[in-house]
Chain A
């Protein structure tokens, strides 16, 4: 069965510092991989996704993520964090070949940004 692990519940960084949010998944093959961001009381916004090809994917708001098959990881990075990046971040996986398109979410990582 698919599962997603986000080992960091809460991360605090200073504005301008670099950021890396960890995500590990368990799946029998290479899944579809996603990162979403959720602001308080809001729905989810897609930051980026990986389906195939280049393992380093670029997303919106200056985020990028790297798929590492050997480590079953899809970590999210940003070189310089802005105060507006404070939010909850979710990693998600979806099964390849799935006709339903259901996603499995990690528990999320809360990002706090200090001025």
Chain B
């Protein structure tokens, strides 16, 4: 089956630093990648949708200057948390949609997540 990886799986950083999280589709090309944020014991909240080669579309309430998303290729999207603060600590999950499937929803695959802790 299709595999999506995330790196790193967990990261601890000091307040004020920036952290980059990578999301890769390992055996397929992804037209679209999604970034979610999950707080403990809560659901996934969509942060943004990114399409290869274009700017990401952010959900209402998500600061685009704080959460920078780059989708430079069909297999890689990155989320950079700039000037991270403790309230940014969370579990970040990406998903990717298979290009060859014509963007059908059923071909959305999820990564294992990245746990961020800002001290």
Chain A residues within CB distance 8 Å of chain B: 32, 36, 41-45, 49, 51, 90, 94, 98-108, 110
Contacts and interface: CB of A to CB of B under 8 A. Distances in A.
Interface residues of B, number: 24
A102 B44 contact: no
B105 A101 contact: yes
A101 B43 contact: no
Given A41-B113, A43-B6, A104-B46, 12 more contacts: A41-B115, A42-B112, A42-B113, A44-B110, A51-B106, A100-B32, A100-B49, A101-B103, A102-B34, A102-B46, A103-B105, A106-B43
Interface string B17-41: 0000000000000001010000001
Given A100-B32, A107-B42, A32 B105 contact: yes
B93 A43 contact: yes
A104 B36 CA distance: 11
A38 to B, nearest CB: 9
A98 B32 CA distance: 13
A42 B38 CA distance: 11
Interface in B67-107: 93, 95, 97, 103-106
A103 B49 CA distance: 11
Nearest to B5: A43
B105 A90 contact: no
A108 B42 CA distance: 7
Contacts of B34: 101-103
Given A90-B44, A107-B43, A108-B42, A99 B103 contact: yes
Contacts of A32: 105-106
B113 A43 contact: yes
